[in-house]
Amino acid sequence: MTKMIREEIQDDLRSRGFSRRQMMRAAMMFGGAATAFAIGPEIAFAQPNQRKSLVQIGANECWTGPLAPGLAAVASAAAQSNRYSPNDERGQLIKTISKVEKIPEDHVMVWPGSNAALAKTVLAYCSPTRGVVTADPTYETVGDAARFLGAPVKPVALKADYSHDVKAMLAADPHAAIYYVCNPNNPTGTITPTADIEWLVNNKPAGSVVMIDEAYIHWTTDYPNNSVARLAAAGKDVLVMRTFSKIFGMAGMRVGYVMARPDIIKKVMMFDDGITVDLPIPSIACANASLTAKPLIDQRRAELIANRTMTEDFLKKRGLKLIGPSHANMLMIDWKTKTAKEVKAAFLAQGVEIARVFPSWPTVSRVSIGSKADMEGFFAAFNKVVAA
Ligand SMILES: Cc1ncc(COP(=O)(O)O)c(C=O)c1O
């Protein structure tokens, strides 16, 4: 099995103390199982055979497709898809990211979404003795990848204001390889102050990295001031992850990017297995045209905020406890006396798909914010399921 990976990688894994059995797991993550991690929790949940519902507010997707300039770019790129790279689309996207994020081009790596990049970073940095610290609850890919590999995982409860407890995270494992901060956090939509992230970056152990997952950052009104892309540009030990799967409405197109120092990118790229260079040109062209469409991004954010406020008002009027405040396209509701599992099944029976269960909060459900019509569908189901 270990023949599946190059000598150089085998040596690297051996030097980190992986056993033969764990090296087989690493080989699986390098190849086939990487695909499983690329199919992250939201995608797995959104598999077509599970999507029988009319209102799909379970997977934190955008309620609508790509922005208009993105769709126009797809059409043009698709028409030239007889060529592998008709207009250096990949190079153009990296240039655009570099301009928008104010970061050198060699600090940017484009990936097919960010799940694969999250999992491959675990493969690049963790060992049987140095693992990951995450919040609890948070997006699961990083913890799942580390567990699969046999690296230690320390989940740390969010603070009372639902931000990451960075001091407790460092205390939980002062020798971890990766500290994962999801900002805004999935599933809560809550924000961790950039000062706290900087504290973690300045106090973490040598040889480790802080991975900041900004999948939902464009939904926040403080963007770009609350992004820590500038820490990557400044050459700190960070990886800042972005995806086009959320506000840009491109989950099915599979584009994301990582911002980090070139040596960090090189280390992760050892485990890339070629997937990053094989991105479909129409997807890259769509991402490139979408990233600079600021007025349309602002318009989409305003629509989200209106629909989220409407949903919060509806739930608060009915006396429900909301986790938050959420700054992203999701809300969490604490049912107190019902389990998230039973509520999810009851909503599904009404044709409304809400999120999977987050085990550490068994009475709390996550609902993604969709279109006005989606949320009205949710209210109608709520009246039958909860208020009945
Ligand atoms: C926090 C977070 N990070 C990363 C991802 C991965 O997204 P993708 O692989 O579609 O880029 C998701 C998807 O829901 C997410 O919620």
Tokens of 80: 């030239």
Percent of the chain at pLDDT exceeding 90? 82
Strand partners, 132: 153, 178
pLDDT at 1 over 50: no
> Both 141 and 45 in a single domain?
no
Find the 59 Cα to ligand 1 centroid distance in Å: 10
> Both 287 and 316 in a single domain?
no
Is there a contact between 355 and 317 (Cβ–Cβ < 8 Å)?
no
Is there a contact between 333 and 321 (Cβ–Cβ < 8 Å)?
yes
In a domain, 2, yes or no: no
In a domain, 17, yes or no: no
State the angle between helix axes of 115-125 and 20-30 in degrees (0 to 180), rounded to the nearest 10: 150
CATH of the domain at 58: 3.90.1150.10
> Both 60 and 116 in a single domain?
no
> Both 130 and 200 in a single domain?
yes
Q: What is the pLDDT of residues 369-380, one digit of tens each?
A: 999 999 999 999
> Both 135 and 56 in a single domain?
no
> Both 185 and 168 in a single domain?
yes
Q: Which of 39, 138, 139, 286 to mutate to test the pocket of ligand 1 (most atoms within 8 A of CB)?
A: 139
Can you give the residue range of the structural domain that contains 336? 41-64+295-387
> Both 94 and 55 in a single domain?
no
Find the 183 Cα to ligand 1 centroid distance in Å: 12
In a domain, 10, yes or no: no
User: Tokens 């500290």 map to which residue?
Assistant: 179
Which of residues 270, 291, 312 is at a domain's end?
A: 291
pLDDT-based confidence at residue 69 (cuts at 50, 70, 90): very high
**Choice among 38-47, 207-216, 257-266 with the minimum mean pLDDT:** 38-47
Which of residues 264, 291, 318 is at a domain's end?
A: 291
Percent of the chain at pLDDT exceeding 70? 93
In a domain, 339, yes or no: yes
> Both 79 and 202 in a single domain?
yes
DSSP summary character for residue 188: T
> DSSP string covering 289-308, please?
HHHT-HHHHHHHHHHHHHHH
Q: Is 42 in the pocket of ligand 1 (CB under 6 A)?
A: yes
> DSSP string covering 47-64, please?
-GGG---SEE-SS---SS
> Both 125 and 268 in a single domain?
yes
Q: What is the pLDDT of residues 2-13, one digit of tens each?
A: 455 677 888 888
Find the 245 Cα to ligand 1 centroid distance in Å: 7
CA distances from 29 to 116, 274, 312 (A): 10, 14, 40
CA distances from 113 to 30, 51, 141, 195, 203 (A): 16, 21, 13, 27, 29
In a domain, 314, yes or no: yes
In a domain, 35, yes or no: no
Sign of CA pseudo-dihedral 214, 218, 224, 226: negative
In a domain, 155, yes or no: yes
In a domain, 20, yes or no: no
Q: Is 119 in the pocket of ligand 1 (CB under 6 A)?
A: no
Task: Give the mean pLDDT of the chain.
Answer: 92
- The more confident residue out of 73 and 388 is 73
> Both 45 and 142 in a single domain?
no
> Both 76 and 58 in a single domain?
no
Q: Which residue puts its alpha carbon closest to atom 3 of ligand 1?
A: 215
Which of residues 247, 273, 291 is at a domain's end?
A: 291
Find the 145 Cα to ligand 1 centroid distance in Å: 14
Q: Is 138 in the pocket of ligand 1 (CB under 6 A)?
A: no
Tokens of 142: 């990083």
Tokens of 56: 């799909």
Q: What is the pLDDT of residues 182-197, one digit of tens each?
A: 999 999 999 999 999 9
CATH of the domain at 75: 3.40.640.10
Q: Which residue puts its alpha carbon closest to atom 14 of ligand 1?
A: 42
pLDDT value at residue 146: 96
* Total number of domains in the chain: 2
Q: Which residue puts its alpha carbon closest to atom 8 of ligand 1?
A: 113
Q: Is 215 in the pocket of ligand 1 (CB under 6 A)?
A: yes
> Both 53 and 192 in a single domain?
no
pLDDT at 45 over 90: no
**Tally of residues, the chain:** 388
**Choice among 84-88, 154-158, 217-221, 236-240 with the minimum mean pLDDT:** 84-88
pLDDT-based confidence at residue 326 (cuts at 50, 70, 90): very high
